[in-house]
Amino acid sequence: MNRNTRLEVPPELTNLLLEFTISVLVNKPSNLVEYASDYFARLLNEKRNANLTSGPSQSGENHLNDNHFGDEDNEDSLSSDFS
């Protein structure tokens, strides 16, 4: 790819990464890669479940703001959210 090639960042990516970043800053996981894997797997499952119950979303927005991802009392543990 040429250095002069201009790439356009889709708004969905900006929102997705912003929500993920906030979650990381709040929960302070010790293993960021594992946390990211769990976070995005959960997001995908939530999106699939939402599509099954209400049909496909037209907005394309992700809403994890009401979701306290991870266990705030134990910031390294995500197990309480996945049990």
Residue 77: pLDDT over 50: no
pLDDT tens for residues 7-60? 999 999 999 999 999 999 999 999 999 999 999 999 999 999 998 887 655 544
Q: What angle do CA 29, 35, 40 make, to 5 degrees?
A: 145
Residue 78: pLDDT over 70: no
Domain boundaries, the chain: 12-51
Phi/psi at 18 (5° precision):
-65, -45
DSSP character string of 52-69:
HHH---SS-----TT---
pLDDT attached to residue 3: 80
CATH of 12-51, one of 3.40.50, 1.10.3470, 1.20.890, 3.30.519: 1.20.890
pLDDT attached to residue 55: 60
